[in-house]
Structure 1
Amino acid sequence: MPELFMNGRGRDAVTLVGGAPLATPVLEDALTRAPRLLAADGGADACLARGLVPERVVGDMDSLSPEAARRFADRLVPVPEQDSTDFAKALRGLDAPFVLAVGFLAARVDHALAAFSHLAERGGAAPPAILLSEHDCIALLPPRIDLALQPGDRVSLWPLGPVRARSSGLRWPLEGIALDPAGRVGTSNRAEGAVRLECRGPCLLILDHARLPALLAGLGRGAAPG
């Protein structure tokens, strides 16, 4: 399957649509930054409902409606194995600067948790994937990131294993604090301005959706916000 995505368009970022409920403004925002459109299984129905045609529809096809299967028959990339999620299947072998994944956070909690686990499994593999909802943008925290944030901005860290982190620019510094999903987590911290985070261990960074430009810039995938 990976060679299907090596189509000479790797310079364009990708919007990947999942099957969870999706607010149209979130999809529109993603497409302005990541114009290539892919769907993971039932995400094709969200595309169909909005008159959009994905480049590919990837997954085990157990959530795809008959109408979407018919309309996008020439774009289906079936991956029948059940050892990975459709989110993971769609990212496999994908050639792009980054991926904005929408329609993965607003329905079943187990699906969202599986997406988080896959981010940890991928580690620093390219392309970096950011999960978007109306309220949040979520990415795996790299070993070091600088974020051009504003005072009062929410900065939440959610460890996916034992994590050691250092920070500057946070209201409650992380120096010397061990984070763990079964112990202390780092939700609802606040920026006092520009923030630097250094991290050892798998950890999610959760920012307000409006801070997506700052996150992309921090990941080296966009211009620093003014």
Structure 2
Amino acid sequence: MNTKIVHALSPVLLVGGGECAEDALTNAMKVSQTIVAADGGAAEVLARGRMPDSVIGDMDSLDPALQAQLAPGVLMHIAEQDSTDFDKCLRHIEAPLIEAHGFLGARVDHQLAAFTVLVRRSDQCCVLVGAHDVVLVAPPRLVLDLPIGMRFSLFPMAEVTGRSEGLRWPIDGIEFSPDGRIGTSNEVTGPVTLEMDGPGMLIILPPEALPQVTLTLSQSAARWPARAE
């Protein structure tokens, strides 16, 4: 059964209630045709003079006065408390790419929860954007043309293996795991090709990589299959 709330043929901007990189969010809102807010993220969108196309969540952090400002049909209340608002959004959005702001920031527990959702919903093409990093799950195959010397960190959220070209320290033959070998602080030495044998590897890059990452992901068909619920 199709339970999607938002259907878009172009990238979707998703705004959460956490810290947002001001300039990055402003630029994203200028070019985004579809804007979705995760619960309290609607306040950030409304404050910038836009009406979100949809607000998805359990509505425990969105002021009733702001809820009253939403256009009819925008509020999508999902009452269950077994998942985060970020998870609720990812499983109800259908789009070639989701650029998510307001999910990285001061609280480590919130960031870890967001990373867990990224891996759980690895069939979704989603990039978390913060002031210091952009984070995504490595798809089956990814090719990026990034500046030489750029930080290219890899952090496994599960046991995973893969292959690489264009990194100072190749990952071929390495068995990664969150409590074992990780791959932070790697470095770009040329055009990067990354192939993973399964979902579970986070790619963490500086914000300067965002334009190349979003362009590549929006044009790529490589996706992991959805997990059985």
TM over 0.5: same fold?
yes
**Structure 2 runs not aligned, ≥5 long:** 221-229
- The aligned amino acid for 1:157 is L
Tell me the residue number matched to 1:206. 204
Q: Aligned-pair RMSD on alpha carbons? A: 1.8
Runs ≥4 residues deviating over 6 A: none
User: Percent same amino acid at aligned positions?
Assistant: 45
1:183-206: CA deviation from partner (whole Å, max 9, x where unpaired): 121111000111111112310111
- The aligned amino acid for 1:211 is A
Tell me the residue number matched to 1:16. 14
State the alpha-carbon separation in 1 of the partners of residues 157 and 167 from structure 2. Answer: 21
Confirm or deny: 8 A CA contact 2:4 2:91 kept in the other structure.
no
What is the deviation of 1:213? 2.2
1:16-38: CA deviation from partner (whole Å, max 9, x where unpaired): 00000223212123234533111
When residues 73 and 29 of structure 1 are mapped into structure 2, their CA distance, relative to the original with a 3 A threshold, is: closer
Tell me the residue number matched to 1:149. 146
| Equivalence map 1:50-199=2 (5 Å) | 50-72=48-70, 74=72, 75-123=74-122, 125-126=123-124, 128-199=125-196
- The aligned amino acid for 2:13 is T
- The aligned amino acid for 1:31 is M
Tell me the residue number matched to 1:215. 213
1:61-110: CA deviation from partner (whole Å, max 9, x where unpaired): 00111221111162211000011110111122312221100000113211
1:34 aligns with 2:14: no
State the alpha-carbon separation in 2 of the partners of residues 147 and 104 from structure 1. Answer: 24
* Number of residues of Structure 1 aligned to a counterpart in Structure 2: 217
- Most deviating of 68-77 and 96-105: 68-77
- The aligned amino acid for 1:102 is H
Helix, strand or coil for the counterpart of 1:31?
A: helix
State the alpha-carbon separation in 2 of the partners of residues 103 and 29 from structure 1. Answer: 14
Tell me the residue number matched to 2:3. 2
State the alpha-carbon separation in 1 of the partners of residues 120 and 164 from structure 2. Answer: 24
- The aligned amino acid for 1:14 is V
**Structure 1 runs not aligned, ≥5 long:** none
State the alpha-carbon separation in 2 of the partners of residues 22 and 35 from structure 1. Answer: 19
Tell me the residue number matched to 1:49. 47
Q: TM-score, normalised by structure 1?
A: 0.89
What is the deviation of 1:218? 3.4
When residues 66 and 93 of structure 1 are mapped into structure 2, their CA distance, relative to the original with a 3 A threshold, is: closer
- The aligned amino acid for 1:212 is L
What is the deviation of 1:220? 4.5
Q: TM-score, normalised by structure 2?
A: 0.88
Confirm or deny: 8 A CA contact 2:12 2:35 kept in the other structure.
yes
State the alpha-carbon separation in 1 of the partners of residues 5 and 149 from structure 2. Answer: 44
Confirm or deny: 8 A CA contact 1:14 1:38 kept in the other structure.
yes
- The aligned amino acid for 2:116 is S
1:197-224: CA deviation from partner (whole Å, max 9, x where unpaired): 11123101111111112212432438xx
1:35-57: CA deviation from partner (whole Å, max 9, x where unpaired): 31110001011112222210111
Confirm or deny: 8 A CA contact 1:34 1:99 kept in the other structure.
no
When residues 65 and 110 of structure 1 are mapped into structure 2, their CA distance, relative to the original with a 3 A threshold, is: same
- The aligned amino acid for 1:2 is T
